[in-house]
Amino acid sequence: MAQAVQNYVKSLNWGHRVQLQDKKVKYFNLKGSFADAHTIRGLTKAGKEMTLTAENIVIATGLRPKYPKDVAGALQYGITSDDLFWLKKSPGKTPLIGMSPDVSLECAGFLTGIGLDTTVMVRSIPLRGFDQQMSSLVADYMESHGTRFLKKCIPTKVEELDSGKLQVSWKNADLGKEETDSFDTVIWAVGRVPDTKTLNLETVGVKMNSETGKIIVDASEATSVPHIYAVGDITEGRPELTPTAIAAGKLLARRLFSQSSELMDYDSVPTTVFTPLEYGCVGLSEEKAVGRYGADNTEVYHAYYKPLEFTVAERDATQCYIKMVCLREKEQRLLGLHFIGPNAGEVIQGFALGIKCGATYSQMMKTVGIHPTSAEEVTKLHITKRSGLDATVTGC
């Protein structure tokens, strides 16, 4: 399996290089940094130096996994998700420490699914930044299907035992005591950081957020230096999503070459967490909608449903849930849509267009669903949280 994943990643990289060549784009495999505002100094793996000059420069170096600095043994004995598929043997009993959604829960779901003893350790709330009710349902589903969760736990150290096992110590905030357990592999999922320190940005005057290290840009992706731009995860306040970076990069290229003046719209960008039971969403969470418009001006339609494929196989559908967040007005403009269930990403991708175009609840209810699909349940939402009625979908 690991070899298949490695081969796929290598094929992607090779495919990108071929496409660049076909489009007559020169590719240099260098570690770059700014020599001045128009010059990049690059180093090859062999240490050979070369310089490149340009009228405009775009920074798109992304993020890399980080290790906690306050946990003894974290770097020495732990790995990150980037290393998982490069292991020579099965990771065995594994904790994923942190709540980075694309790392902690997705990897935990995968490892549990192939039969490994898997633990998720989190110090606060699951899936920070997402709708918290939906996040809790995702975690509940995983826990009921074998993933162990250690909540409100703070790691303190990692040590290697004589047996070769790794002993992780942590403080349980709920119990107020230190706890330990031994594992075969320790995976850190505490987020990703920009590697901006090596770019020599201060020399050319590019401003960064002092806390995150990310580059500050305006609506046109320009940095504090007009001819230096930045796109993707390395920019402050942008969604850390590959498709978003690609879209922003395309629009920037068109503007730089006078093909368009269109700016990237970062509002209502859809995304999905690919856990065993997928969670897809677009727009505002219930918490953010209430915070922005107030509880009295926010209407939430919801439903617990059972996908057809769960019915035939008699699978547990307790956490299959849909939530539509609307502005409580005459037309009830859609503010956000949240979907937990099979193929959530496919479902949300379609409805994202409607929300982007300002769709309303009344328009959604006029949409005819495709039967028998899970997505059709979105077009039948009629129970509000405010009503207090049972939101379980029935046969009629």
Which sequence positions are flagged as catalytic? 371
Average pLDDT over residues 148-175: 96
Task: Kindly report, residue by residue over 322-340, the tens digit of the pLDDT.
Answer: 999 999 999 999 999 999 9
DSSP state of 314: T
* SS3 of residue 154 by DSSP: strand
For residues 204 and 34, is the Cβ–Cβ distance under 8 A?
yes
Least confident among 93-97, 188-192, 277-281: 188-192
Question: Average pLDDT for residues 137-162, to the nearest whole number?
Answer: 96
pLDDT tops 70 at residue 313: yes
pLDDT score at 100: 77
What integer is the mean pLDDT of 135-146?
A: 96
Residue 383 has pLDDT above 60, yes or no: yes
Q: Tell me what the mean pLDDT of segment 80-108 comes to.
A: 90
Mean pLDDT for the chain overall = 95
Judge whether residue 187 has pLDDT over 80. yes
Which of the four pLDDT bands, split at 50, 70 and 90, describes residue 146?
very high
Domain annotation for the chain: domains and CATH numbers: 26-58+193-258 (3.50.50.60), 66-192 (3.50.50.60), 270-387 (3.30.390.30)
Question: pLDDT-derived band of residue 365, with 50, 70 and 90 as boundaries?
Answer: very high
Three state DSSP letters for 45-100? CCCCEEEEECCCEEECCCEEECCCCCCECHHHHCEEHHHHCCCCCCCCCEEEECCC
Helix 106-113 to helix 132-144 angle (10° resolution) is: 20
* Residue 1: per-residue pLDDT: 80
Q: Percentage of the chain surpassing pLDDT 90?
A: 90
pLDDT digits (tens, 9 = 90+) for 37-89: 999 999 999 999 999 999 999 999 999 999 999 999 999 999 999 999 899 99
Distance CA 290, CA 130 (A): 14
| Range from 260-264, 308-312, 382-386 carrying the lowest mean pLDDT | 308-312
Instruction: Locate 47 and state its tokens.
Output: 């240490």
Quick one: pLDDT at residue 396?
57
pTM of the predicted protein model? 0.93
- Centre a 10 Å sphere on the Cβ of residue 394 and count the other Cβ atoms it contains: 6
Neighbours of 160 (CB within 10 A): 12
- Name 229's bridge partners: 58, 222
Distance of CA 346 to CAs 132, 167, 285, 339, Å?
Answer: 22, 40, 19, 10
